[in-house]
Amino acid sequence: MNRNLTFVISNEHVDRKLVNYLKFQGNMSTRLTRKLIRGGLITINGTLARSNDLLKEGDKIDVILETKETQDIIPQDIPIEVAYEDVDLLIVNKPPFMVVHPTRSHIENTLANGIMNYFKITNQDCIVRLVNRLDRDTSGLVIIAKSQYAHQGMAKKLDNNQIEKTYIAVVEGRLEGKDTIDMPIDRPAPESMKREVMEGGQRAVTHYEALVSSDNMSILSIRLETGKTHQIRVHMKTIGHPIVGDSLYGNVSEYIDRQALHAHRLRFSSLRDNIDVEVLAELPEDMKKLYEIVEQSSLVDKNV
């Protein structure tokens, strides 16, 4: 997969500065453009480019993104379920109970270790640039950008709510219909791991729709409009329906030994050609079993 970029200037962009053309037509920040120019990685008709170069019709701009990069993450032979891959992105279905990125106390057996190994065995000179993250016990889709260009582009989409993120969750109690939760979230104290709905916090918006409901549990499809830490878990607790198995914000469960939350679907437009991309991740086994329990229970409740 060739990650490099090539642009040929048409008449409508004549006399534009290179840096402005790459910002608006190439989705490249001014900072990234200047960094690549300093490194000699952008040329116009084979000649090293400058930020303020004025473009002429027919000019060929080449941007080199495939550069040698290193990262202090140990490649490990950890199975990686690839849900989607193109020249810019790798999207994987993270299993539950796996930490996404190494920490001082947990430097091995993370998703990032497995991804580094995947890049190694597929001969891709990439480092792990995470676009989104999931909690250790949350399963589902994680986006990895293969270059600074791709990371910057996807991060911008994320900030502008241009990546549609849908989760499947099982919550306590009966919840029916659909609704939107618009409640600000923040830490009650700087050292706190938990978040709370609190006045003056950051705006957080969660849309949910009940798929199956029983007296004890309900299965929800949840779409995030914002992406705050623990947003779904905090919002569901606040409305009185904590996620099943969520020991931090709710209760442990006899049915599942983690929070029943799965990042199920992503939808966005591709970086280079603006094509609609939809990626789905199948439920892991523990949530499939829980799903069946709720469905069976809902049928019993209807017959009572």
Q: Which of 59, 135, 137, 186 is catalytic?
A: 135
Rg of the chain over CA atoms, in angstroms?
23
Give the span between the Cα atoms of 246 and 275, in whole angstroms. 37
- Residues near 4 by Cβ (< 8 Å), separated by ≥ 6? 62, 63, 64, 65, 66
Indicate if 182 belongs to the active site.
Answer: no
Secondary structure of residue 32 in the 3-state scheme: helix
The b/e string for 261-287 (b: 16+ C-beta within 10 A; e otherwise) is: bbbbbbebeebbeeeebebebebbebb
Give the start-end residues of each E strand in 23-138. Answer: 42-44, 47-48, 60-63, 82-85, 89-94, 129-130
Contact indicator for 132, 144 with CB cutoff of 8 Å: no
What is the amino acid identity at position 207?
A: H
Separation CA 90–CA 45 (nearest Å): 31
What's the angle, vertex CA 202, arms to CA 196 and CA 172, rounded to 5?
40
Q: Are strands 261-269 and 139-145 parallel, antiparallel or unpaired?
A: parallel
Q: Which residue numbers are catalytic?
A: 135
